[in-house]
Amino acid sequence: MSYFWSDDEEPFLTKLEGTQITVGQNIYRLGELVSEGHSIKIYERHAHFIAQRESDGLACMARLRLQDGHDAKDIAYCAEWGRQIFEREIRPLQLTESMAATPTLLDHETVFQTAVHGYPGGYINAFIMSKVPGRPAEEYELSKIEAGFIKREVIQILDSMQRLGWAIPQGFPDMVHYDRETQTVSMTGLDRGTEWDPNDTEPITEDSYLVSQFGEDIWWSTTSFGSSSES
């Protein structure tokens, strides 16, 4: 698993691996830390963890935004800014909840830190979403048949999202996940998008520039023919 750190820092939140957090009515156990960043301007650390719902073992993803100290004169401003970012991250999951190809929002809540988190009493803006199957499509060696299938699915996903009121203005290949075993295509990272008027939507086609952006290292790079091969 790759880690992504901001500000040239070493990972700080690995200490939370194996701990539990209650969000909504459910207890989740945090597993591997996938990514971490530090928003210095608003005194906040943010991270993604692979997680598990304790009640039934469901695999999921936990997104945490933890207050990391504060400047007394800016505390209300920073907390409000953090709340707005949190709400913007969960908004696309709420709008696309009817879609099977995007993560499902399982729980979200603002809870408070204990000693283990590093800033007792500080807030944690937390949300839990389902874990999509497979891995980033760009990590596979894809046949042209597979790549064509993924491209058609991406077009349908983007078009469906726009009709639900959320649009992705720029294509990022790492948002596209593919599960070869189940032939499932999913899209993550929806917070890179923006709210959209469903009544002001033009159909997305394979000739759309947005679709070509998503294709880099996925359908741009395929050279083989025939059925899928193991990557």
Tell me how long the chain is: 231
Condensed to tens digits (0 to 9), the pLDDT of residues 32-72 reads 999 999 998 999 999 999 999 999 999 999 999 999 987 77
Whether residue 6 lies inside any domain: the answer is no
Quick check: 5 pLDDT over 60? no
Same structural domain, 30 and 89: yes
Task: Return the SS3 of 152.
Answer: helix
Whether residue 110 lies inside any domain: the answer is yes
Same structural domain, 30 and 56: yes
Containing domain of residue 61, as a range? Answer: 14-130
The DSSP-derived string for 76-93 is HHHHHHHHHHHHHHHHHH
Amino acid occupying residue 47 = A
Condensed to tens digits (0 to 9), the pLDDT of residues 170-185 reads 999 999 999 999 999 9
Cα gap 202→179, rounded to integer Å: 29
Query: Residue 157 — pLDDT band, cuts 50, 70, 90?
Result: very high
Same structural domain, 84 and 166: no
Condensed to tens digits (0 to 9), the pLDDT of residues 205-216 reads 999 999 999 999
Same structural domain, 111 and 169: no
Nearest C-alpha neighbor of 110 from the set 84, 133, 83, 136: 83
Nearest C-alpha neighbor of 95 from the set 1, 203, 198, 219: 198
Nearest C-alpha neighbor of 180 from the set 227, 113, 224, 131: 227
Q: Count how many Cα atoms sit within 13 Å of the Cα of residue 164 in the half-sphere of its side chain.
A: 20
Condensed to tens digits (0 to 9), the pLDDT of residues 123-152 reads 999 999 999 999 999 999 999 999 999 999
Cα gap 116→90, rounded to integer Å: 25
Q: Is the pTM of this model over 0.75?
A: yes
Quick check: 222 pLDDT over 80? no
Q: What is the pLDDT of residue 224?
A: 42
What CATH code is carried by the domain that includes residue 110?
1.10.510.10
Same structural domain, 71 and 161: no
Q: What is the pLDDT of residue 220?
A: 83
Q: What is the mean pLDDT of the chain?
A: 91
Same structural domain, 112 and 145: no
At residue 131, φ and ψ (nearest 5 deg) are -95, 120
- Does 6 or 97 have the greater pLDDT score? 97
Quick check: 228 pLDDT over 60? no
Number of structural domains in the chain: 2
Cα gap 85→87, rounded to integer Å: 5
Same structural domain, 95 and 67: yes
Q: Please say which residue of 77, 98, 130 terminates a domain.
A: 130
